[in-house]
Amino acid sequence: MQWTDPIVLRIHKPANISSFDVIKRLKKLLPKEVKKIGYFGTLDPFAEGLLLVALNQANRLTQFVHQDLPKTYRAVGVLGCETKTQDLTDTVIQKDDSDYFKNVISCFTLDFFNQRLKSFKGSYLQAPPIYSAAKFEGKKLCDWARNDGVEIKKDEVERYIYELSCKFLKFPELTFEVVCSSGTYIRTLFVDMANTIGTVGVLKNLLRTKIGSIENSQECTVESFTSSSHNYVVSLKDLLPYPVISFDEKQIMDFIHGKKWTIENVDTSSRGIYWVANKEGKLLGLASQTNNISKVLVGLH
């Protein structure tokens, strides 16, 4: 591996710092050969867990990571409390002191929650929270709210919940795991979960454990990173497990120059997307084939 190559690193982001702070710290530790650094999917400052950092041309893969890789979280929510930020970084503005909460919801079992929350699986409409990194007119919603006192409500967007299960109940705290599409706000999901049983809720803890098949490692911190830390490096083929097709020199030149081409036996299970590699196995980028015609999606050269 050379530090000028397209590289993806897995970093464990601790709680109480922003994803951008992680990037700033890591940038100081990376070799000077690294020309560009970004990340696939932000984590809220109070959250911790897996942050995938893209170096050099790997930043061109952002769309495919967001589009094709579900994200897995483990979270703890508190029933009966409400804050503007939907987590406990803000002041509690409402507590549910109703008899229904004290005498009925408090008696719900873990099995009851799992049965009741089955309705969330599948397509799920969710509006970004007012305090979030979602943008309006080029500025984050949280900046509109905190700096300008303007609470902007955006339209609901379709997300997808692949799996949702409650793991532990110690009333009023509920521990759950969710596998969901990119862009899903877990604190908003928990608020919706609380609403569906007749109360309010806030998120207490959030841990991102996986993106696609890439797992979080608490050992992969910025503080312990060095340029020889190869356990941080994520294989592009493992990250995006599309089929790999080796090209000869002529095909590679067509790919590099953006020409269209035809190729047989393309696996269509991944929407016809595949990795292009040279004979030595080095990945050159992504292509897609539709109606027997292939074209360049992303070049990594």
What single string gives the DSSP state of each residue in 63-114? HHHHHH--EEEEEEEEETEE-TTSBTTS---EE---HHHHHTGGG--HHHHH
d(CA 147, CA 73): 30
Contacts of 147 (CB under 8 A, 6+ apart): none
d(CA 35, CA 14): 25
Residue type, 232: Y
d(CA 15, CA 34): 26
Is 44 assigned a catalytic role?
A: yes
Residue written as tokens 């932000």? 42
Residue type, 128: P
Tell me if 275 sits within 8 A of 237, measured CB to CB. yes
d(CA 41, CA 163): 19
Q: Of 177, 223, 249, which Cα lies nearest the Cα of 26?
A: 223
Identify the active-site residue in 44, 96, 99, 192. 44
Residues with catalytic roles: 44
